[in-house]
Structures are given as structure tokens and as C-alpha cells.
Structure 1
Amino acid sequence: MTIDEIIAGKNPEALPDGHFIDGRFRRASDARMMESYDPGRAEAFASFTNGTADDVDEAVDSARRAFSGVWRDVAPAERGRILFRAAALLREEGERFAVIESLDSGKPLSEARGDVRGAARAFEYYAGATDKLQGDSFPLARGYLGFSLHEPMGVSAQIIPWNFPISTAARSIAPALAAGCAVVAKPAEQTPFTALLLAELLSRAGLPNGVCNVVTGTGAATGAPLVAHPGIDQITFTGSVATGQSVMRSAADHVTRLVLELGGKSPVIVLADCDREAAITGVLGAIFENAGQICSAGSRLVIERSIHDDFVAELVKRAEAFRIGHGLRDPDFGPLNSKAHLQKVSGFVDAARKRGVTVLTGGETTCDPESGKGWFYKPTIIDDAAATDDLVREEIFGPVLTVQIAEDAAHALALANDCRYGLVAGVYTSNIANALKLARDIDAGQIFINEYFAGGIELPFGGNKLSGFGREKGIEGMLSYSKTKSIAIKL
């Protein structure tokens, strides 16, 4: 089937419509179904299983059996071989995954291809780490020997968001499997398919049945029973602050360990001595990639006054030149993921316009110019907003850049930190001393200097303040799925 046929409304073939439990696809206990929508057309293109608490029980039981009966005892090197095979398969089948990811999430095809490559790299990275998670020895008194072991946590529940389905699934499933854990993943109901396909691919790579299970459905019907399940030993959640707080409350009942990656309102500081072209390109990518639907999006531009006018004028010019369209046509700028989210983003800007903010460009819903369909919002830039304005304080999770003007680097630091979130921040300056001082003093989990979204799977990622706690990616991400056991011996 061609991309043109899919855009025209022909449904993709061979999409799974059941959960993936114990090594195979199966329908829900009561066979209820949900529709998945193509955001570029605002039309349903496939159905999938809307699960129940009974399905969650079955998936968790399968994971527990696989963990205690098989997976935790598999040699680390063999776990690595399986993950290497999974990475190779994902690269071989990358185009299929990218097309489905673009169709389901709405993002441009080139971005989806990059996400699939990143997912394959995550499995490759953790495949190489399986036999390198080493304990320590401790300097006890003479006559004693002390050392530690890293043991797998057990069964991990993973709640996967809709904005980066394959990327987020890989960055949490891969380290969990590498550490020796079993997984029950629950993708967002807006974007279920690549997580299901990934679980099936892992099975083909040699993963034993039950080690990775995927249950689909709503947050209330499947997500809530999963994070509250007594058979879960660890939870990784990516999503909103409010839902993350609810997950924490559920986890408290069983003292379940957590990694929470929540919201962001990340600043991009641009100082007068920056490389102007690199900074303009970086600021645009930071907020308009995936139509701004990124927790770590650079949604606040904090810029020195002396370069503000020309810099912002160029941002507006380039934003207005973006090609908008269906994700599978690989435009510069795709749709928002759902009608409800489009209304949320639009509501933020409409309310701000009534307060008198300056909207330099955008601020309106639109559609695919070729079809007249879809959930699109124009790239939007708001100038010189007050530090108390909701556009500065609240996560919009859309293509809305809010500009704040700083008098100097010290003022820029104060504006950057005047926020209840602390996920990431960007800094553009040619003065490396200033860059490192800002990186030291900004309260965020990750700082990008002179290239937004720099780094990769090797770099630990996570937030401070309301952006959550715990880290994903890197070796530190693998430690999130391990528990340390200390052993002392009298010789």
C-alpha cells in the first residue's frame, strides 16, 4: 500500500487489534474496541482493543511468571544478544514503523523516521550495557569483605505518552529488559500501534513469552489498574503533572518505586554574542518540532534586549514559511494529535489575546491545504509576555513560543529559573564561561549549549521540580530498573 493511498483514506493492512500478552496478540476479555485517528485527516483509520482490569491482571501474571521463571536468570550477555537482534530488526523494518507512527501521531514522516532510528539505537545501546552493570566493593575493616550487586527490580509498568510513542517505549522498555526486568506497557489510547508492533518484534528477536506485554485502552480502564496493581514492582510514567500525581498516589499503596517524567516549560536563553544562525535554527526546532508537542520543548525564548527585534523578526519570517500538511507528505509542520488537544492549545492563546498579549504570528487553527482536513494550529509567536502570564507559567504543549526580554545574562538566569518546572534548558552564547555558569545555575535536569536537543541515548534525561524525578537514558536509566543489594562477609 502506498503513502498516497493511506492519505486518501485507505486503511493500512495487518495492524494489530488486540493486546500483546504472553507472546501473542489477543482481544480484550469483553472484546470492546476503540478507534484510532489520523490527525492529518481528523478521521479514524483503525480499531484496537479497549482493555479492562482483567486484561491487566492477565498481562501482569504473565510478566511475573516470565520474570521469576525465565528472564531474571538469563545470562546478561544473552539478554544483550536478544536486544541486539531487536535493534537490527527495527532498522530493517524502520519504514513500516515510521509510516504507522506518522499516521497515528500526525508527526512529519522524517521526524517519525528519526524516532524509529533513535528507538533502534536505544536497544543497541542497552544491548551493549547488559553485562556491564557492575557492583562495588567496600573498604571494610581487615577480616571483612563487602560488595554490592545490582538485581532486577521485577515487573515494570510503563505508561507511554502519545507524542513520542516509539521513542518513549524504547527508552524505557530497553533498559528494563537489559536489567533483567519484565514489562507491562500501556501506550496512550491515541497512539497504540507501534508499541504493539514493538512487542511482537521483540518476540521475533527471541525474547521469551511474557517478558514484554502491551495492554491497550483508556487510562481509566487499563492505565489506572496497571499502576495500582500489587504485582508491579516499578513504574515509569511519562505524561502530565496531574496524572503523574495520581500515579504517585496509587504507587504509595504498595510502596512501588517510580520514575516520573512530567511537564516542562523550558527556557532557551539567547545572549547577544551568540552564533545568530545557529540560535535561530535552534529556537525554531526547539518549539516547532512535532508541532510543539514535546515535554522538553523550548517554549520560552529568553533573549537579550539588544538583539531582540531583529532576531524575533527573523523567527516570525521563517515560521510563516513553514509548509503545513499531512505528516505522511513530510511537511515542515504537522497537525496536533487530537481535536481535544487542538482546543486546549487554541484556548490558551485565545485567552491570552483577550488579555492583550502581542501575537506576532499564528494564533489560529488551520487545516491541511491539500485536503482541507486535520487538526492543525499555526506556528505561533507571542512577544514580550509578562513573567506572570499563563503563557509563561503554564505548559501549553503546542506550537506556541513565548518571548521574554532580558537585560543581561544575570537577568536571563532569573527569568529562566522563575518557573515551577525544571526539565531542560538551552543556552546560546559564544562565551563558554558564561555558558557553563548558566548551565551550573539553571535549575533543570538537562542543559543544551549551542544546540537544542543535543546528545542522545547516552545522556541521562529527567526533570527537577514539577517536571518529576528519576532519570531515563544512559547507564543511570538502567539503574532505575535495578535494586542494590549489599553483602558483608566475615572472613
Structure 2
Amino acid sequence: MTGDRAKLVEEAQRTGTLAGLPCGHFIGGRFVASMSGQEMESFDPGRGVAFARVAAGAAGDVEAAVAAARAALSGPWSRMKPAARGEILMRASHLLRERAARFAVVETLDSGKLLAESEGDVGGVVRAFAYYAGAADKLHGDSVPLGPDYVGVTIEEPVGVVAQIVPWNYPLSTAARGIAPALAAGCTLVVKPAEQTPFTTLMLAELLHEAGLPDGVLNVVVGTGAEAGAALVSHPGIDHITFTGSVLTGQRVMRAAAEHVTRLQLELGGKSPIALLADCEIEPAVEGVIGAIYENAGQICSAGSRLILEQSIAAKVLDRLVARVGAMQLGHGLSDAAIGPINSPQQLERIEAHVERARAAGNRILFGGGIVPAEQSGGGWFYRPTIILARDPDDPLVQEEIFGPVLTVQIVADLEEAIAAANATPYALVAGIYTRDHAKAWRFARAVDAGQVYINEFFAGGIAMPFGGNRKSGFGRAKGMAGLRSYCKLKSVVARL
């Protein structure tokens, strides 16, 4: 443990918070209070108590942020060379690396996730800013052959003012994967982090300003979805919306975007399958399954929440899974636990309702189930890691996203049944397969409807690989060069010679 990290962890454990956290919106290059003067509490999920207060914004604050972003869009930022934008992003990457420990501890206090997971997230964001720093001056159009009397070219232009709605499960990572490419493309932004997890997004905005971002290019408004989020996505001054969240809220965002014909990118839910075929290496596969569902206590839209097992290895795999999960300790994100808390009491209740409904419907609980009582959890919001054998492919246990540490198990006869099971939900975000047979792996990858498929490792690829879903998992792509082009509008220019 580095000295900075150790000091920050000690301070957080001793005081329950960290000194110097931002408390206002970031608008026009500075922190400001809400116009109403309202504030709200932010809770540490590992203890179930508030650890800080932050501004609670509404329509007036959104109006100010959009005005700042629109003014910045036509200011010096619009005349800055792409390479200069890239230099700002690279400085931000270096600054974040220097302050990684503070960002990680704050992320853990705010979201509840394990410190090691937060550190991984911060490292990924450092890489994301470096990636898009290098891409900023490599975004170009094409020359189109129209014959000897014409010159035809296409130009990638910034789409304009971007609204980004950030979820509570990966606050820093999700904010960065939208902010970095949008800035590289030359856009300006208004970002609304989830009201449960605002701090690292605010800290990132301040860091980017320190790295050289002009006033108003990046603005952050904190508030609830009803007060701030709805005002932002329905604002006529927004040119593009990036939303990450639930299907139901995504549908509301689509309706709001339709009013002004605003461009839209949605990353919604998932019920992602992870198939283990009979010829797989069982030990690495079991570890992969555990990471796919129990990282961040299962609060991941791309979690491998459905385990599809070939019949001949089902008993062996389930025995090993139950043994491994039974040894995992729950605890505060700053402890040495293997699984952290659930982000909010509301989400904890939703998980419990899903599991109890599955139990009542006759699904077999192989392990776990149940909320950890407050007297055993230190007041935090914890759900026991759970494994459930599904009785029916149409059961809500199989069809609906639970968003918690609950693994649904389905048993199939062969690869063809595994493919059919993988495709048998309304979601199409991620899929994974473990097998030694690469022909089978590629048949699975081709046949399964998903935005990304992982072979013999889950959550692989990093910032360079495009990410997004199909069907009820949304549309559009983040990350990679596809993510950069999401923030561009294509213009064709033809000249007669």
C-alpha cells in the first residue's frame, strides 16, 4: 500500500469521510452552489450512513450549464487544433495517475465497491484519456472518387453540446468513457452523475480544468433524475444525449429526445450469458464466472448473470462454484473483503424481491439468498452472494435483470442449446463462452446476438474495444474509435474543378 493510499484509507476509516470533497456543481470552470441553495446527502453503502453533502440541482442549474457549454462551443475551444485538445487530455491522464489513490478511495466511499475495484477503474480511466489524447488528431474523413472534374471529401465535425447521464455503479469509468471521446472530437458537455455517486465526476471536471480545458467546455450538474436529469435530456440546447441506465428510464429519455430530434446513444440493461462447454478448463472457467457476476457485487449491466452449463460438467462446476462462493467474505470496500455492499437500500430491496419471487416460483437456491442483517453488517447494505438453478427458461429469474450478486444457472445438452438459451432473453449486451474448441467458440460468437462476445475470459478488451448493446440493451457504441465517432456528425463536401 502506497503512503498516499494508506493515509487516505486511514482518514476515511477514522473519520468516515475525506476532507476537501467538492460540494457544488461545476459550471463555467468553477464550483457553484445550486440556485435554490438545496443540498443532499451522499451515503457510504458500506456503513449505511451519510459521509458528505453536495448541491442538489434542478432546471435552473441545468439552464446555466447548457448556456456555459453553448458559449464555450463557439469560443476558443472551437478554434483549438485537435493536437492541442489531445495535449489537454494527456495532461489530464498524467494528473489522474498522480492522484489515483484519492480518486479510488472517494469512489469506494461513494459507490461501495471494493478499493481494488475502484483502483482498477481509475487505472482504466487513466488509459482512456491517454487513448483519446492520441486519437484526437487522427479523426479524419475520406476522399471520395467522383471523377476528374470533382473533388469529394467527408469531414468529421463535433456534434455540438453533449448531455451525459452517468449511472451509480461505475461513476468515474462511465463518465470518462463519454467525456474523453467527446472532448477529443471537439464537443462541449453537461454531465449529470447519479445522485448517489457524484464526487469523482466533479473531481474529474476540476482536474480537466486544471489540465487546460477552457471554462464551460465541461460542466457537471448534480441532482436527481426527476429534477436535473429530466431537465437536461429535454433541453433544446442539447445536440446529443449519452445515457447509461435502466430500460425504463432509457425509454423516457428516448421520448424526451424525440421532442427536439436529439441524437441519442443508449447503454441499458443486460442479462448476459456465460456458457461453459464440456471441454473447457474448469478452474479458470469457474474463476471467470465468479468475476463476471460478483465483481462490484453484481451491480454491472454487462455482468455474466446467467451461467449456461453443458450437462456433463454441471455437477462438477456447481460443486466448485458453491465452495468458492461460500468462502467469500463480505465487507466494507476499504476492508479486505471479497464482496462489497449494494449501493442503496432501494437496490437491496429490489434484489431481495427478485430472489424471493424466484424461491416462491420453485427455483432451487443452491447457495445464499437474503439480506445481511444490519447488526452483522455494521449498518451497511449487503446481500449474500447467491446461486439459483432455474426451473424454466421463461421464469423472470432468467428473463429479468436483477443487478446484484445473484447467479442464475441453466443446464443444456450441447452447444446448439447453449446458443438458443443465450439468445432467449430480450437483452443483447454481452455474452461469454469457455471452451477449448475454437470452432465452437466462433460459432457461438457469430450466432449469439450481443454487442460483444468474450472467449475464455470475461470483461476483456479495455478502452480500445467498442462497447454497447442490441435490442433492449440499447444502441450506439462507447469506447474505441467507434466511441469517438459517436460524438461526430459527418459532412460531405463536393467541389467542381
Question: What TM bracket, shorter-length normalisation?
Answer: over 0.9
Residue of structure 2 in register with 1:316 after alignment: 322
SS at match of 1:387: coil
- Pairing 1:208–2:253 present: no
- Pairing 1:290–2:296 present: yes
Contact 2:433 2:456 in 1 (8 A): yes
| Pairwise CA distance, 1:385 | 3.2
Contact 1:36 1:45 in 2 (8 A): yes
Contact 2:8 2:18 in 1 (8 A): no
Deviates more, 1:66-75 or 1:309-318: 66-75
Residue of structure 2 in register with 1:28 after alignment: 34
Q: Output the CA distance in 2 between the equivalents of 1:415 and 1:9.
A: 49
| Pairwise CA distance, 1:73 | 1.7
Task: Give the partner amino acid of 1:184.
Answer: V
Residue of structure 1 in register with 2:335 after alignment: 329
Indicate the percent of aligned positions where both proteins have the same amino acid.
59
Residue of structure 1 in register with 2:244 after alignment: 238
Residue of structure 1 in register with 2:344 after alignment: 338
Task: Give the partner amino acid of 1:101.
Answer: E
Contact 2:362 2:391 in 1 (8 A): no
Task: Give the partner amino acid of 1:361.
Answer: F
Deviates more, 1:3-12 or 1:311-320: 3-12
Residue of structure 2 in register with 1:64 after alignment: 70
Q: Output the CA distance in 1 between the equivalents of 2:274 and 2:411.
A: 12
SS at match of 1:236: strand
Residue of structure 1 in register with 2:276 after alignment: 270
| Pairwise CA distance, 1:231 | 0.6
Q: Output the CA distance in 2 between the equivalents of 1:385 and 1:465.
A: 25
Task: Give the partner amino acid of 2:297.
Answer: A
Task: Give the partner amino acid of 1:170.
Answer: A
Task: Give the partner amino acid of 1:63.
Answer: A
Residue of structure 2 in register with 1:180 after alignment: 186
Which aligned pairs between 1:73-472 and structure 2 lie closer than 5 A?
73-366=79-372, 372-472=378-478
| Pairwise CA distance, 1:207 | 0.5
Judged with a 3 Å threshold, the aligned counterparts in structure 2 of structure 1 residues 86 and 370 are, in CA distance, closer, same or farther, namely farther
Q: Output the CA distance in 2 between the equivalents of 1:490 and 1:279.
A: 60
SS at match of 2:464: coil
| Pairwise CA distance, 1:2 | 4.5
Once the two structures are superposed, residues 394-431 of structure 1 have per-residue CA deviations (whole angstroms, 9 ceiling, x without a partner) of: 00000000000010000100000011000000010000
Task: Give the partner amino acid of 1:67.
Answer: L
SS at match of 1:11: coil
SS at match of 2:46: coil
Task: Give the partner amino acid of 1:172.
Answer: G
The number of aligned residues is: 491
SS at match of 1:142: coil
Once the two structures are superposed, residues 182-209 of structure 1 have per-residue CA deviations (whole angstroms, 9 ceiling, x without a partner) of: 0100000000000000000000000001
- Pairing 1:484–2:490 present: yes
Task: Give the partner amino acid of 1:466.
Answer: K
Q: Output the CA distance in 2 between the equivalents of 1:311 and 1:148.
A: 53
| Pairwise CA distance, 1:329 | 1.1
| Pairwise CA distance, 1:71 | 1.5
Once the two structures are superposed, residues 357-391 of structure 1 have per-residue CA deviations (whole angstroms, 9 ceiling, x without a partner) of: 11011111115887632000010000143101111
Residue of structure 2 in register with 1:13 after alignment: 19
Judged with a 3 Å threshold, the aligned counterparts in structure 2 of structure 1 residues 160 and 233 are, in CA distance, closer, same or farther, namely same
Task: Give the partner amino acid of 1:442.
Answer: V
Contact 2:45 2:111 in 1 (8 A): yes
Once the two structures are superposed, residues 429-454 of structure 1 have per-residue CA deviations (whole angstroms, 9 ceiling, x without a partner) of: 00001101110010000000000001
Q: Output the CA distance in 2 between the equivalents of 1:209 and 1:282.
A: 44
Contact 1:165 1:194 in 2 (8 A): yes
Contact 1:325 1:368 in 2 (8 A): no
State the 4+ residue runs in structure 1 displaced beyond 4 angstroms. Answer: 367-371
Contact 2:97 2:123 in 1 (8 A): yes
| Pairwise CA distance, 1:4 | 4.0
Gaps of at least 5 residues in structure 2 are 1-6
Task: Give the partner amino acid of 1:43.
Answer: V
SS at match of 2:31: strand
Task: Give the partner amino acid of 1:415.
Answer: A
| Pairwise CA distance, 1:330 | 3.8
Judged with a 3 Å threshold, the aligned counterparts in structure 2 of structure 1 residues 67 and 367 are, in CA distance, closer, same or farther, namely farther
Q: Output the CA distance in 2 between the equivalents of 1:478 and 1:318.
A: 40
Alpha-carbon RMSD across the aligned residues, in angstroms, is 1.1
Once the two structures are superposed, residues 70-126 of structure 1 have per-residue CA deviations (whole angstroms, 9 ceiling, x without a partner) of: 212210000000000000000000000000000100000000000001011110100
SS at match of 2:147: coil
Q: Output the CA distance in 2 between the equivalents of 1:164 and 1:405.
A: 31
Task: Give the partner amino acid of 1:414.
Answer: A
| Pairwise CA distance, 1:142 | 2.4
Gaps of at least 5 residues in structure 1 are none
Q: Output the CA distance in 2 between the equivalents of 1:6 and 1:142.
A: 69
SS at match of 1:327: coil
| Pairwise CA distance, 1:177 | 0.2
SS at match of 1:213: strand
Residue of structure 1 in register with 2:3 after alignment: none
Once the two structures are superposed, residues 286-309 of structure 1 have per-residue CA deviations (whole angstroms, 9 ceiling, x without a partner) of: 000000000000000011000000
Q: Output the CA distance in 2 between the equivalents of 1:328 and 1:369.
A: 19
| Pairwise CA distance, 1:5 | 4.3
Q: Output the CA distance in 1 between the equivalents of 2:114 and 2:72.
A: 37
